[in-house]
Amino acid sequence: MTVLHLHLHRTAPTPLTGDTLTGEPRTAQPSAGERPACASARPAGGAVAGSHPRGRVAAIAPGLLLALTVAAVATVVGQHVPLVGSAVPGAVIGAGIALAIRPGARLAPGLKWASTFVLQCSVVLLGAQLSIGEAARVGVSSLPVMLVTLAICLGAAWLYGRLLNIPHDLRTLVGVGTGICGGSAIAAVAPVIEAASADVAYAISTIFLFNIAAVLAFPLLGHALGMSQQSFGLFAGTAVNDTSSVVATAATYGAAASSHAVVVKLVRTLMIIPICLGLAALTARKRTAATATASPADPAATTPAPAARAARMSPKRIVKLVPWFLIGFVIAAAVNSSGVIPVGAHVPIQHVSVFLVAVALSAIGLSTDVAALRQAGHRPLLLGALLWITVAGASLGLQALTGTI
């Protein structure tokens, strides 16, 4: 989910919000002083301009070619400086270009496609290097650290948010984004709690900044602590927010760390289902209490709003919370376990997967929108920083207590 989530630039001139991994459509950010009643995580549309295949290719090609070019340069850098890999240089070079010459609307469809679908394919290819038994073992063994860090993150978000006087919805969005799967979690939770689109934009901007920080800092921290590939994979899978950032952070550390981290992260992503169900129940209880205190003479007081009805968690909507690439990852691991994929193909598949991650991270860097962070203000950023440090410390501390670090 659910790739790095600053309030990314997708179209001009109005910035949009959404998630780089799931490819959720982005909600237009309101103008200054405007606070819409709610924001939907799954608005209609979202297709690349041009319904005809040729039109889609023509729309995607410019941005994708730019991302491929940056990724190729980043790959060369990674070959000369193996410590940083190719994903980090891709993100840094892309961000540098975006800051110097902001990519226009013509590049937006290709950059979005590269940062979503291309990244999702890289995750599926990682599954082709694992056995289904190994994936299940890693997922089960990571549950104690994953569940405790999630509980600590959500509790810390409530505490820090109250101390910083941050509105309830905003601290909830930043909390689930940090604790579960970045922008994917924010997009899933926003309609459940009927969050304002401004809060969604601010939360995604905050999450993205610390995804970038994790990609740059965590591999260096892992080497400084002498962490094994498996322990760093568990650390990245539980302490980094977005799946794209998890893949980039772990791939920089090593192939084994990357495979381990992706399994941990995909299991962690599933936690969005119980979280959404719990938040839906709390929201319904608040709505019921508000209705009970409203005037019976007011028809609007007893009729659920369209947004409220849309936010209810139906079985169909619960199924939609499971990302397709998670299913693809499991299928690829099952195919590999059956022996269909020869052992000699694992290394080429790994190289392709790493390059696709570099393409996605280059596109994300090229989509950087610093203005969104300035608009978010310092308090959401401070909340994000505190949660980032808390979750990273909790993950390392739990591994130290369990002897896995």
Mean per-residue pLDDT pooled into runs of 10, the chain (405 residues) = 38 39 42 39 41 81 94 90 78 86 86 86 82 84 90 94 92 92 82 81 81 88 94 94 84 88 86 85 78 57 48 66 79 88 87 88 80 72 93 94 79
| Torsion of the alpha carbons at 175, 180, 182 and 186, rounded to the nearest 10 | -60
Looking at residue 297, its pLDDT comes to 52
Residue 22 lies inside a defined structural domain of this protein: no
Distance of CA 46 to the CA centre of its chain: 18
- Tokens for 34, please give them: 């405007």
- Residue 118's SS3 state is helix
- 10 Å CB burial of residue 48 (0-12, 13-18, 19+) is middle
340 in any annotated domain: yes
Q: What would the two tokens of residue 5 be?
A: 């989530």
Is 360 domain-assigned? yes
Question: Is 87 domain-assigned?
Answer: yes
What is the count of structural domains for the chain?
1
Cα(124)–Cα(116) distance, rounded to whole angstroms? 13
Domain contains 8: no
DSSP 25-82: PPPPPPPTT---S---SS-S--PPS-SSHHHHHHHHHHHHHHHHHHHHHHHHHHHH-T
Q: Which two tokens stand for residue 3?
A: 């790739």
Residue 405's pLDDT is 75
The neighbour count for residue 143, using CB atoms within 10 Å, is 12
Amino acid 294 reads A
Domain containing residue 62: 58-292+299-402
What does the pLDDT read at residue 327?
A: 84
Residue 162 included in any domain: yes
Q: What is the distance, to the nearest Å, from the Cα of residue 288 to the centroid of all Cα atoms in its chain?
A: 32
**Stated length of the chain:** 405
pLDDT for the residue 19:
45
Residue keyed to tokens 């993100």: 91
The answer as to whether 13 is a domain residue is no
Asked if 111 and 365 count as a contact pair (C-beta separation under 8 A), the reply is: no
**pLDDT value of residue 235:** 95
Q: Which residues contact 237 (CB under 8 A, 6 or more apart)?
A: 142, 146, 246, 250, 260, 261, 262, 263, 264, 265, 268
**Has residue 41 been placed in a domain?**
no
pLDDT for 162: 93
DSSP 302: H
Q: Which helix (H) or strand (E) holds 245?
A: helix 243-253
| CA angle 76–77–79, rounded 5-degree value | 65
